[in-house]
Amino acid sequence: MFRSIQGEGNYAGVNSLFIRFQFCQLTCNWCDSKYTWYEKSGSFKQYSRDDLIQIIRQTPCHHIIFTGGEPSLYRLDWLYVEGKKMHVETNGNIIPTLPLNISLADRTHISRDAMDERIIEQYNWVVSPKLKNAYQEIDKEALSFWGSRPYAVFKFIIRSVDDLEEIAYWQKTCKIDPNKIYVGIEGISLHSQLQPELVDSIIENGYHFSPRLHIMLWGNQRGK
């Protein structure tokens, strides 16, 4: 749990409280928070539901961001607090309105009931599908679910101009509004983010460019 600015997407620069959830069903090769799912790394503090709700209510931050790991492994509809602007950062491979029963790569088993969509539609969901450059599979059914939801926006991370073709494929296949797509550049240094030719290509393809402000300011420093 930490305070910082939102570094990416349609709320970039906003003062926020981040609550980071442990575990993820994916194992992306360039993940910048492997300590949330790699069994040999990191240490974590456990909070009860009541603890988290109290923290959310008492923080001076208006924006609360659930990040991970993969937050949708958990019952986020139990953590909604009126009066706060609540966000979820997800990889988009899970449909939250369906029950979940899954074994993760480290043999951790997680199950939960379906979330109440009347509550989760109050969140701003930032859906970040992992392209082939992360060596992961996109779930077509799940991404189509998100493409049909007005409360979801989309963030893709690219390494090269070739990745934009894959984004275009998924945009059309899953009927995603291109005006809801933000594209950032992979990397953990300021230099990696300064690629004007890539930004030109993002714009030419009709997408928003998302600078990764936290990387530009602090690199890959944990808690930023």
Helices assigned H by DSSP within 42-92: 49-58
The structure tokens listed for 79 are 């953590």
Q: What pLDDT is recorded for position 40?
A: 57
Of 57, 53, 131, nearest in space to 91 by CA? 131
**Lookup: tokens for 141:** 């059914």
Helix (H) or strand (E) holding 19: strand 15-20
Torsion of CA 158, 162, 165, 170, to 10 degrees: -40
Residues 78/33, Cβ–Cβ less than 8 Å: no
| Backbone angles phi and psi of 186, in degrees to 5 | -65, 145
Look up residue 42 and give its amino acid.
G
Place of tokens 């349609």: 10
User: Could you give phi then psi for residue 211, rounded to 5 degrees?
Assistant: -65, 145
Beta strands 152-158 and 124-127, pairing class? parallel
Give the model's pLDDT for residue 179. Answer: 97
Model pLDDT, residue 28: 77
* pLDDT profile of the chain (224 residues), mean per 10: 93 96 84 70 82 98 96 97 98 97 85 97 97 89 98 95 97 98 88 87 96 84 79
pLDDT (0 to 100) of residue 41:
56
**Residues with Cβ within 8 Å of residue 92, at least 6 apart in sequence:** 127, 128, 129, 138, 139, 142, 143, 146, 154
pLDDT at 217: 84
Distances (CA, A) of 187 to 100, 212, 219: 32, 9, 9
Which residue reads 């300064």 in tokens?
A: 194
Query: Do strands 152-158 and 208-209 pair parallel, antiparallel, or not at all (unpaired)?
Result: unpaired
